[in-house]
Amino acid sequence: MYHKSVLLSECVEALKISPGRIYVDATYGGGGHAGAILEKLEGGRLIAFDQDAEALANRIDDPRLTMVNHNFRFLRNFLKLHRALPADGILADLGISSHQIDQPERGFSTRFDGKLDMRMDRKKKTTAQNIVNKYSEERLGVLFSRYGEIRNARKLASRIVEIRNATPLETTLQLCEIADTCATRGQEFKYRAQIFQALRIEVNQEIDALGEFLLQAAQSLAPGGRLAVISYHSLEDRMVKHFFRSGNFEGRVEKDFFGNIIAPLKSITRKAIVPGADEIKENNRARSAKLRVAEKI
């Protein structure tokens, strides 16, 4: 299986799918969410985005589906191109697919030895190898602290620079070995995951892309349209939560003369929807997922 979709029924329910409308799956992957949307959709259209060319092999044979092999940060341009504005519902699952994780040569997993790549879009030039070998010690420290929330990021950065001065870093195993020298005993796996998360975010410009996507999604929805986003770590979830609540990424609430919050969306979920015990048991990679839903005002 390419990827097992997370919170599948909850996502489809959140979109409030109606006949003849336009919906967007901004992160197609294995097509699980897209397939579930199409099953519920009578007529209408589904525009699906995925920057990873390998996801195109999972294209569902359905005339209502239009595939876009680009990052969702270009959402509005392509919806305009395909005459799909305004949209009635937009879904984004921000997680990395199981297919990508389980391919050693992609470099996303701490479990395999492979090249330090981590590119979602393999046409891009910057890889994790470029970053760990070329970024300054200070820049690496900031990166690991900001995107990996690593407490001893400066120590890790210093260790990486020390090792790379003798031998260039090329593989995930080399990086894991360095990580283990800086991690608290018993926390090695978590520490590795934090490092890989930080590098993946930097390689793919994930935070910037998410910000652009959220702004464009709000602009692209029809009144009453729904935006559903699944996040997997606190940086993403905080951005989504703040944007749904206040219309900005700082969480700064502004009100009009009558005391109404000035924001393009209203949050539907007071608390994030999380997978139940049964889903986590069946798919352990769902354990950190959080679904938030908002509606265009």
Q: What is the DSSP letter of 216?
A: H
pLDDT attached to residue 1: 61
Residue range of the domain that includes 52 = 8-98+206-296
pLDDT attached to residue 3: 75
What's the CATH number where 143 sits?
A: 1.10.150.170
pLDDT attached to residue 167: 96
Let me know whether 74 and 220 are in one domain. yes
pLDDT attached to residue 281: 95
Let me know whether 237 and 90 are in one domain. yes
In a domain, 76, yes or no: yes
Let me know whether 193 and 55 are in one domain. no
In a domain, 80, yes or no: yes
pLDDT attached to residue 99: 85
Its pTM stands at 0.95
List all residues 6 or more positions away from 186 whose beta carbon is below 8 Å from its beta carbon.
none
Let me know whether 173 and 225 are in one domain. no
Sign of CA dihedral 286, 150, 131, 116: negative
**Which portions of the chain are predicted below pLDDT 70?**
1
Structure tokens at 78: 């392509």
Residue of 53, 50, 56 whose CA lies nearest to 70: 50
Task: Give the count of beta carbons closer than 10 Å to the beta carbon of residue 167.
Answer: 8
Let me know whether 91 and 125 are in one domain. no
List all residues 6 or more positions away from 294 whose beta carbon is below 8 Å from its beta carbon.
226, 227, 244, 265, 266, 267, 268, 269
In a domain, 180, yes or no: yes
Determine the residue type at 24.
V
In a domain, 1, yes or no: no
Let me know whether 113 and 199 are in one domain. yes
Looking at 159, 175, 203, which one is the last position of a domain?
Answer: 203
What's the CATH number where 92 sits?
A: 3.40.50.150
pLDDT attached to residue 4: 85
Looking at 183, 203, 223, which one is the last position of a domain?
Answer: 203
Contact (Cβ atoms closer than 8 angstroms) between residue 55 and residue 28: yes
Let me know whether 184 and 116 are in one domain. yes
Domain count, the chain: 2
Looking at 148, 173, 203, which one is the last position of a domain?
Answer: 203
Q: Could you give the angle at which helices 153-166 and 172-182 cross, rounded to 10 degrees?
A: 130
In a domain, 231, yes or no: yes
E strand or H helix at 192 = helix 188-204
In a domain, 144, yes or no: yes
Contact (Cβ atoms closer than 8 angstroms) between residue 32 and residue 5: yes
